Amino acid sequence: MSATSTPSAPAFVAKTKGGRITNFVDERVGGSGMLREFGRKVFPDHWSFMFGEVALYSFVILLLSGTFLTFFFDPSMAETHYQGSYTPLKNVEMSVAYSSSLDISFDVRGGLFMRQVHHWSALLFVASVSVHMLRVFFTGAFRKPREMNWVVGSVLLILSMAAGFTGYSLPDDLLSGNGLRIIDGVIKSIPVIGTYISFFLFGGEFPGTMVIGRLYMLHILLVPALILLMIVMHLFMVVVHKHTQYPGPGRNDGNVVGYPLGPVYAAKAGGFFFIVFGVVALMAGFFTINPIWNYGPYDPSPVSAGTQPDWYIGFVDGALRLMPGTIGNWSVEQVWFGQVFSFNVLLPALVPAGILFTVMFMYPWIERWITKDGREHHVLDRPRNAPTRTAIGMAGFVWYCVMWAAAGSDLIATHFHVSLNDVTYWLRALFFIGPVIAFIVTKRVALALQRKDREIALHGRETGRIVRLPHGEFIEVHAPLDEYKRYKLVGFESPSPLPAEPNANGVVDKKEKRRAKLSQWFFEDRVAPATPAELEAAHGHHGAHEAIESGDTQKTLSR
Amino acid sequence: MKALSQKRRHPLAAIALLLMGLLVTGGLYAVATTVNQAKATTSFSANDAEEGGKLFAANCATCHGMGASGSQDGPSLVGVGAAAVDFQVGTGRMPMQMNGPQAYKKPAQFNEEQTHQLSAYVASLGPGPSIPEAHVLDGQGDAANGGELFRVNCAMCHNAAAAGGALTRGKFAPALSGVSEKHIYEAMVTGPQNMPVFSDSNVGPEGKRDIITFLKQIEANGSPGGADLGALGPVSEGLFVWIAGLGVIIAFTIWLTSRTS
Amino acid sequence: MGNHSDGSPNHSGTVARAGQNEVEKFQDPGLPPHRLRLADTDPKAAKRAERQVALLFGTSVVGTLIFLVAYFAIDLGDDTGIATIRLQNMLLGLGTAFAMLGIGTGIVHWAKALMPDHEVSEERHAIRTEEDRQAAVRIVDDIAEETGIKRRPLIRNTLLGAVALAPLPALAIFGDLGPRPDNTLAHTMWAPQDGKLKRLTRDPDGTPIKAADVTIGSAFHVIPDGLNELHEGKLNEKAKSVVLLMRLNPEELHPSPGREDWAYNGIVAYSKICTHVGCPVALYEQQTHHLLCPCHQSTFDLTQQCKVIFGPASRPLPQLPIAVDSEGYLVATSDFHEPVGPSYWEREQHVRNINA
């Protein structure tokens, strides 16, 4: 320590060989400083904080297994006749890309395993990114100062879908070929430039001989590079902001409570990488994924029942399925001024995804504008303590799930022995009413949970022990909470609607009025946290129920 | 409160029981149908046709009419051939349990001899596809060619791995694993229900033999990658990664962040 | 304003009103007292945990060995069965899983049971201090001053113009990604070649089909004669020209005026490419005469000239006019009268050109 501050002090000389190497590096890169900064950095511990790590680790697994696959894969669409060891395809005409994918599966030792590792971790990657984003949304972790990191995360979600889709198409099998053809159909529906984009992507007409090579380049170079860049930005901001934490005793917006990076958190996070890898390996060893040998080589004539994209594109495919192409005898596709407007493809392909992603990107600013909340938040909201946000999130989630389910409408029909057409009719209805129901139900559930919290905070936990009092009354004994547990239930903010305020000119403008209305909508239904005074009152009554009832009716400004 | 919550559990338990029951019966069906091995017999005696006529009058005439001339409940069977009867009766689809979008496969209602007699009777009414010869069912054809024919002609309904698929308004194309070679062949030549007919002029007997070879080979092979998750494609894979994959990982995260006692 | 209980370090902007004032709130009791683990107090428990961790690491070694044995002992020769591949894949998975889970669970167990589990609290610091902001503003001002960019608008404006234009070549250079769309989308191989009508042939072997072969209730998957002999662009042509051939009772077809001679004795041929987004519409229900697309469930009614009766497609499937040649084989009398497959921006012009 003193060596750096006083120049006259003798230079540090390491005693061991390892020490000398460390010192050599340290003198040149300044590792000691970094270690001092980060070595004991505190990270809060909660299972729901791990999904980002799952995503990061599955990305690492993707890089490792993907590199292996590139050594054997040949992205050429030249024609060849299969000569590998899988007899049901012997001598069948196919592209070199498909043939080399089969060779990876059947003639390269461990190739099938690596293919399955790669594909399972791809599905897991997008899934964990999604769950991570749901966690961030429902706990309000996107609020200041983390809005930009939310945007970076959203970009990562889109990039992960792009990485998945470009990879899905590479083996040039029948399933992915038909998937590409659907993409081509969707692109062609774009007004003015659709046909151009399609010809540029495929190097001419579909399928052409270029597209696999082009997707390959995107899949192994451009998209992963962008993902890496975004991950670096994402993690850099995590370091700048420090992690959020759940509310609880001793935790506030000014501190971060958890385990130090070294040793506990580093051990857990590092160990967790091996755990994720192990789970992926188990799946890859025991469960088939993307059995390309079943699908056969791509040929524009055949198609298989159950042609679906991988799950993360499913919601777009489902939306395509739900859209009616004709209403009565009226065709949704229109010819205006001699040009074709394929609304039956354009609307479902662009509108729902557009709405979902736009709202997702904008949400931190939407909420900020409504609540006029410019403070930093490092303590998370429990989802129940932000009922309207939670309800908005669930409405979006249900909307997504309806479209998602629609992508499997044929399998729903065959597995539950219902009519395919009825499944579509139901899902069309749910597309509109599902989010509304989800919003109402979620909000009511959140408020009910808040009331439950209040009751427990004021009267303690139900013990299940029934006691008969001397005068004959039966009561259930409630065990009072200790102050730490109670603080967990009462230590949250419960903002009330913020009425319209005049601006600098002393005028309440229209926008401000709209904001006030939204604020009213956001916060009008609320259950305020219990207060010490109420606890006092509840103890006064000692076990009587009236206190809760009156407390509830006072504090809940229900409609 | 307690009593109420207990009551609430009951309907769930009933559903679980129902599901278990369905699974068990489904399993039994599967076992029962694989036992039904086909033996190709193509010669009918006059006695067979006579006995078959009696069975027909007693069991089938309600819908298909006396003399199999058809009624509004069932089509005429004149000229459908022995293969159609052998398929429909042999796989238990006929007699139908009730009218619906499609006849379901179930344990055969008639034994082999009775099925033979019924086939003889219907074959005697008019010429139609007969029960296939043994050599086209031997599974010794060209699997690669069969695979190609299967993908072009069959996979769009039955799925590339023959796992089945949906048709319109409650109809479906069944999975083909566990279906005997003879019944596959008969289905192709007769086009049961909404399946198109694949006559010999469309896919020749050798082509059909190849298709059967392909189907039996992929059925015997199983999936090289482990359990095939129903061979249903990306939907079952997505479902699996969300439920099992993420489920196991969440279990690990909970263990990882819990305090040790 | 909150000072301790909401403790935000940076009170910028408006503060949302709390629902109640501060005095009514419960005070934060601080971190709960630390509870010792068994391994902290009982050396035996600590020793046990240590052995467990070592055992888990040992499992990892076993897993690695399983992997290596499975890799080297199972050889994939030319005649390996699927069962061998499955076994190897399973053992490789099992080996890797043990190797990874052994290390992972071992480390985590070590951290949980033996490393200190005191939660610590760290202060957060302002992400940006006012002092830094002012310093940064000064630096930026100095830089702007030294470049003189404000005083010399000519430099600034020409630079902006140059920078705005510079990316254009980067866009233009992608101009050769593909040819410009022309009317290739409007034509298929079915157009008669040198006055000779194209025969309908079976997919995939390319043998011609006689009208008598097509019995009622059957469905033929059809490609044009000569497709298999193409060397270049075979798939491109196939993608447009695949056709489904079916035979119904002639009285079940209801041809519109002008299309009466497009069918032959109840035999009709329709494009197999869905007008929605281009999947092959290959599912033919021979009793209902419906065609179903397996991708998005568009349903077409054969008895109404493949009108859409369900699903997202908006246009009927294009019909291929057919007849029989002198040898009794089915032939296409002309190309499709409209472009096949999904709609595109210029489609309507192409339709007009074809029918002109």
Neighbours of chain B (3+ CB pairs under 8 A): A, C
Range in A42-56, B25-39, C292-306 the model is least confident about: B25-39
Report the predicted TM-score, pTM, of the whole model to 2 decimal places: 0.90
* Other CB atoms within 10 Å distance of the CB of residue A108: 18
* Other CB atoms within 10 Å distance of the CB of residue A203: 18
* Cβ-contact A461, A482 below 8 angstroms: no
* Cβ-contact B191, B200 below 8 angstroms: no
pLDDT of amino acid C166: 94
Q: Which helix (H) or strand (E) holds A412?
A: helix A409-415
Partner-chain contact C101 A345, CB within 8 Å: no
pLDDT of amino acid B237: 95
pLDDT of amino acid C209: 94
Among residues B114, B131, B146, the alpha carbon closest in space to that of B214 is found at B146
Nearest CB to B147: which of A88, A287, A413?
A88
pLDDT of amino acid A155: 97
Q: Is A351 helix (H, G, I), strand (E, B) or coil?
A: helix
The CA distance from A384 to A7, in Å, is 58
pLDDT of amino acid A530: 86
The CA distance from C239 to A111, in Å, is 32
- Residue A22: both structure tokens together: 């460390």
Range in A342-346, B134-138, C101-105, C305-309 the model is least confident about: B134-138
What dihedral angle (degrees, nearest 10) is formed by the CA atoms of A293, A297, A303, A307?
50
pLDDT digits (tens, 9 = 90+) for C238-264: 999 999 999 999 888 889 998 989 999
The CA distance from A527 to A531, in Å, is 12
pLDDT of amino acid A163: 96
The CA distance from A167 to A173, in Å, is 12
pLDDT of amino acid B46: 77
Q: Which residue has the higher pLDDT, B230 or A128?
A: A128
Residue count (chain A) = 559
Residue B107 has pLDDT above 70, yes or no: yes
- Classify residue B124 by burial, with Cβ atoms within 10 Å: 0-12, 13-18, 19+: middle
The CA distance from A523 to A499, in Å, is 11
Nearest CB to C19: which of A188, A528, A530?
A528
Give A126's contacts in chain B (Cβ within 8 Å). Answer: none
Confidence category of residue C188, pLDDT binned at 50, 70, 90: very high
* Other CB atoms within 10 Å distance of the CB of residue A513: 12
Residues lower than pLDDT 50 in chain A: 1-5, 543-559
User: Distance, in angstroms, between A284 CA and closest chain B CA?
Assistant: 8
Give B222's contacts in chain C (Cβ within 8 Å). Answer: 82-83, 86
Q: Is B155 helix (H, G, I), strand (E, B) or coil?
A: helix
User: Distance, in angstroms, between C139 CA and closest chain A CA?
Assistant: 22
Q: Which residue has the higher pLDDT, A121 or B102?
A: A121
Residue count (chain C) = 356
pLDDT of amino acid B14: 61
The CA distance from B119 to B82, in Å, is 5
Decide if B167 touches C, using CB distance below 8 A: yes
Listing DSSP states for B66-129 in one string gives GGG--BTTB---TTSHHHHHHHHHHTT-SS-SS-SSSPPP-S-SS-HHHHHHHHHHHHHHS--P
Partner-chain contact A339 C298, CB within 8 Å: no
The CA distance from B110 to B94, in Å, is 10
Which of A43, A45, A47 to probe the B interface (max B CBs under 10 A)?
A47
Percent helix, strand, coil in chain C, to 5, is 40, 15, 45
Nearest CB to B194: which of C113, C203, C286?
C286
- Residue A118: both structure tokens together: 């790669």
pLDDT of amino acid A9: 65
Rg from Cα positions in chain B: 23
Partner-chain contact C108 A264, CB within 8 Å: no
| Phi and psi, residue C228, nearest 5° | -65, -20
The CA distance from B51 to A524, in Å, is 81
* Cβ-contact A208, A184 below 8 angstroms: no
Percent of chain C with pLDDT over 70: 92
pLDDT of amino acid B77: 85
Q: Is A287 helix (H, G, I), strand (E, B) or coil?
A: strand
Residue count (chain B) = 261
| Phi and psi, residue C118, nearest 5° | -75, 125
The residues that bridge with A326 in the sheet, in sequence order, are: A331
User: Distance, in angstroms, between A492 CA and closest chain C CA?
Assistant: 9
pLDDT of amino acid C47: 94
* Other CB atoms within 10 Å distance of the CB of residue A343: 17
pLDDT digits (tens, 9 = 90+) for B133-156: 888 888 888 999 999 999 999 999
Partner-chain contact A294 B254, CB within 8 Å: no
Residue C21 has pLDDT above 60, yes or no: no
* Cβ-contact B128, B189 below 8 angstroms: no
Pairs of residues, one from chain B and one from chain C, whose beta carbons lie less than 8 Å apart: 96
Which of C3, C5, C24, C26 to probe the A interface (max A CBs under 10 A)?
C26
Confidence category of residue B50, pLDDT binned at 50, 70, 90: confident
Partner-chain contact C180 A196, CB within 8 Å: yes
Residue C307 has pLDDT above 50, yes or no: yes
- Residue C338: both structure tokens together: 């409209």
Average pLDDT over all residues of chain C:
88
* Cβ-contact B157, C283 below 8 angstroms: yes
Residue C15 has pLDDT above 50, yes or no: no
pLDDT of amino acid B100: 74
Which of C68, C94, C276, C307 to probe the A interface (max A CBs under 10 A)?
C276
- Residue A91: both structure tokens together: 């001598």
User: Distance, in angstroms, between B98 CA and closest chain C CA?
Assistant: 19
Specify the amino acid at residue B58. Answer: A
* Cβ-contact A310, A123 below 8 angstroms: yes
Decide if C286 touches A, using CB distance below 8 A: no
DSSP 8-state secondary structure symbol assigned to residue C280: B
Which of A112, A257, A414 to probe the B interface (max B CBs under 10 A)?
A414
pLDDT of amino acid C23: 52
Instruction: Report the residue of chain C nearest A206, measured CA to CA.
Output: C236
